Structure 1
Amino acid sequence: MQTHLKKRIEIVVEYPALRRLLERLDRSQVTGYTVVPALAGRGHDGLWSSEGLAGDAGRMMMVICITDPARLDPVLEEVYSVVARHIGIVTVSDVQVIRSDHF
């Protein structure tokens, strides 16, 4: 079966910035994304967990999207405009997809 090279972008960001991030992805014409809660982890400042948090301020979310390599830089510029002002991390990796027309 034929596969097609795309770029997978994973963004971990504070919950209060999520809406702005998704608006930027929509503006960049990213055709789809998945949002999942990030429950715990280890970062630059050590261990962290959302356990016991009363509000949204300390919650972290992960957004996963796939895009065409030719569109990667404009998408990352939009993502950076949000993440630069918040706690977060962005990773980019190569992936192979079966249905290229979805991305």
Structure 2
Amino acid sequence: MIETVTRKRIEILADAALVRRVTQAIDRAEITGWTITPVQSGKGRDGHWREERVMGTDKVLVLTIAPEDKAMKLAQDIAPILTSHGLLLSMWDVQVIRGERF
């Protein structure tokens, strides 16, 4: 049987202009990696939105997986800009194979 371990999956929705700030926070939390995916559109409290390359407000989803202590370190680091910069951070438990990689 394959062994799994519990890790936190963290997703951060942010304006593309903030990617460097988010990935630097991931690095400071000593999380080993991240993935960035463009986001084309969505709907939230303020209604529908679409990417806007002309205005520079296109959005990305930054995904990472980490042990709980590192995930909490990242969340604490990002917390001050969640509201001021309109970021959305979510995390939940996931089971991963080869847990030593995360």
Instruction: Mark yes or no: TM-score above 0.5.
Output: yes
Matched, 1:13 2:11: no
User: Which segments of 5 or more consecutive residues in structure 2 lack a partner in the other structure?
Assistant: none
User: Which segments of 5 or more consecutive residues in structure 1 lack a partner in the other structure?
Assistant: none
Matched, 1:60 2:59: yes
Q: SS of the counterpart of 2:22?
A: helix
Matched to 1:40, the amino acid is S
What is the correspondence of 1:1-80 to structure 2 with a 5 Å cutoff? 1-50=2-51, 53-56=53-56, 58-80=57-79
CA distance in 2 between partners of 1:54 and 1:28 (Å): 33
Task: Report what 1:102 is aligned to.
Answer: 101
Calculate the aligned-residue CA RMSD, in Å: 1.4
Q: SS of the counterpart of 2:84?
A: coil
TM-score (norm 1): 0.89
CA distance in 1 between partners of 2:53 and 2:18 (Å): 17
CA distance in 2 between partners of 1:3 and 1:79 (Å): 28
After superposition, the C-alpha distances for 1:19-49 in whole angstroms (9 at most, x for unaligned) are 1111111111111110011110001101001
The answer to whether the 8 Å contact 2:8/2:68 transfers is yes
CA distance in 1 between partners of 2:60 and 2:31 (Å): 18
Matched positions, count: 101
Structure 1 segments of 4+ aligned residues over 3 angstroms from their partners: none
Matched to 1:53, the amino acid is R
- Of 83-92 and 21-30, deviating more is 83-92
